[in-house]
Amino acid sequence: MFTSTEKNTQLIKSEAKRLGFMQCGIAAATELTEDAKRLETWLNKDYQGKMAYMERHFDLRIDPRKLVPEAKSVITLLLNYYPEEKQNEAAPKIAKYAWGIDYHYVIREKLNTLLAFIKSNIGDVTGRGFVDSAPVLERAWAQKSGLGWVGKNANLIHNKAGSFFFIATLICDLDLTYDTPFVTDHCGTCTRCIDACPTDAIINPTVIDGSKCISYLTIELKDALIPQELQTQMQGWTFGCDVCQDVCPWNRFSKPHTELAFKPLTQVLNLSSKEWEAISEDNFKHYFKQSPIARTKWGGMMRNIKATRTYPND
């Protein structure tokens, strides 16, 4: 006989699967004491670069009960984005997560649907969904929810699905059955991600100097120019970077996603650097209005294209 808590947990996980999430794990909403120490150390070393937002709302990042009063459960969900398509070799390299519609739109809709389902089928539950846009330590909660471990490249790795997935979080004031945390590390002696990082941004296992990461340089950095000493190491990446995931042995388990919204844009797969440079600002806004690429804006993308054309991929 299932208890109401177990029944509610099964209902939520079943609905998450129906919505297309590949995994759903649940942990008790408590303060992330150890993660708080690691975050503080990372910030003190200025690895956040010019990402000032990482320094704000520290207390909210480490305690979900300050985001959702009286929170009891943190539900973590994984959504696959691994594509079966390949970019044309002449195309500037764009991280796979940005090939289709912006995942924020896709996942927010799914989270809203999940929360509405919970309220309709369980009761008056207070909850908030988050996806990479609020002070939530997603990877820490995923690990506490039994969904994988944090690899040396600082990505969450699932032992049957690799790491090409988005992490979403739903914090609520509902008691649920909690999953066993994933406490083992399965990277072993492998250092492929560290060795392959073009800018040597992986300082130590799980520790990234964000100010050197190509994803930071091409998206977060708003300066008119990318530092010249780093331009020479970008290997053709113009929006994000997949190198540390592409070389990870665990990603041999990655399977193509089934999310229609993530179907790659033709422009992403096929346009050459010269064709990119010919795109007007108006056309850029038209082509990429629902794409993650819109985040860097036309000027930022032109800056990135110029940087990689000046120092082409070896």
Task: Identify which of 54, 32, 46, 35 has the alpha carbon closest to the alpha carbon of residue 203.
Answer: 46
Which one of 46, 132, 200, 223 is the catalytic residue?
Answer: 132
Rounded alpha-carbon distances, angstroms, from residue 285 to 3, 166, 266: 52, 24, 15
d(CA 54, CA 44): 11
Q: What is the DSSP string of 72-104?
A: -EEEEEEEE---S----TTSPEE-GGGSSS-HH
Question: Per this entry, what is the length of the chain?
Answer: 314
d(CA 156, CA 181): 13
Bridge partners of 162, per DSSP, are 158
**Helix residue ranges per DSSP H, 181-280:** 192-196, 214-215, 228-231, 243-246, 266-270, 273-277
d(CA 191, CA 151): 10
Known active-site residue 132: yes
3-state secondary structure labels for all residues of 237-290 = EEECCCHHHHCCHHHHHCCCCCCHHHCCCHHHHHCCHHHHHCCCHHHHHHHCCC
Q: Widest CA span of the chain, in angstroms?
A: 66
Q: What angle do CA 97, 98, 103 make, to 5 degrees?
A: 75
> Active-site residue numbers?
132
